[in-house]
Amino acid sequence: MKFATVLMLVGLCAALFLAACSAPAPEESVPVSVANEPIPTPATVMGATPSRHVLYYFHRTLRCEECLSMEFFAGALVRARFEDALLDETLQYVVINLDDAGNEHYAEQFNLTFSTLVLVAEDTSGDIIEWQELDEAWETSLDEEMFTKYVAGEITAWLARWQQ
């Protein structure tokens, strides 16, 4: 009897852990970028120039070690290496809990199913010109050196591309 109870508790904990970092895929059709190509919007068609860039860290209420590491490492990286961009508001770092009321649209808009980082270029009215999910952030999140190198490189390349 004790063994069955322990086994059931282990199964329940495993299910909660898996659910903490993921959510079901949206049932309706959501525009998805292929290989991080931008989804055409009126802003991209008209050749809009971004007024700001945002590095979003999206997460759920229940988080695992990888999720917590991603938030900590990304915040530290942005403050340390992109201080000038933060001060002149060219770059912002925003943390969003997808489970909070009113934030559900982010999961649909960026086709999110788990904790991740997304770079976004916005015009002066806040419309999204282009976005890119940092696909390797999760995979490198437990190795600060690899994570920092990857994310810093992506942010640097993203900002340089828009400054041309």
Q: Which own/partner pairs from 97-104 qualify as long-range (CB within 8 Å, at least 24 positions apart)? A: 97/59, 97/60, 97/61, 98/23, 98/58, 98/59, 98/60, 99/60, 99/61, 100/61
Does residue 14 lie within any of the structural domains?
no
Decide if 26 is inside a domain. no
Token digits for 59? 């997460």
Is 45 a residue whose pLDDT tops 80?
A: no
What does the mean pLDDT of the chain come to? 79
User: For the residues 108-136, what does the mean pLDDT come to?
Assistant: 92
**Predicted local confidence at residue 8, as pLDDT:** 53
The CATH number of whichever domain residue 84 belongs to comes to 3.40.30.10
Closest of 70, 38, 59, 135 to residue 103, by C-alpha:
59
- Report the domain count for the chain: 1
Mean pLDDT of 134-138: 94
Q: Is residue 23, in this structure, part of any structural domain at all? A: no
| 63-121 pLDDT, tens digit each | 999 999 999 999 999 999 999 999 998 999 999 999 999 999 999 999 998 899 999 99
Residue 28 is assigned to a structural domain of this protein: no
Give a yes or no: residue 5 inside a domain: no
How high is the pLDDT of residue 25?
A: 37
Q: Which residues contact 2 (CB under 8 A, 6 or more apart)?
A: none
Residue 33 lies inside a defined structural domain of this protein: no
Q: Domain for residue 16, yes or no?
A: no
Provide the pLDDT for residue 4: 55
As a whole number, mean pLDDT of residues 44-60 equals 79
User: Domain residues for 68?
Assistant: 38-163
Task: Tell whether 13 is covered by a domain.
Answer: no
Q: With pLDDT > 70 as the criterion, what percentage of the chain qualifies?
A: 70
According to the model, what pLDDT value does residue 113 have?
84
pLDDT tens per residue, range 7-24? 454 454 444 444 455 444
pLDDT of residue 162: 84
Rounded Cα–Cα distance for residues 64 and 57 (Å): 14
- The answer on pLDDT for 31 being more than 50 is no
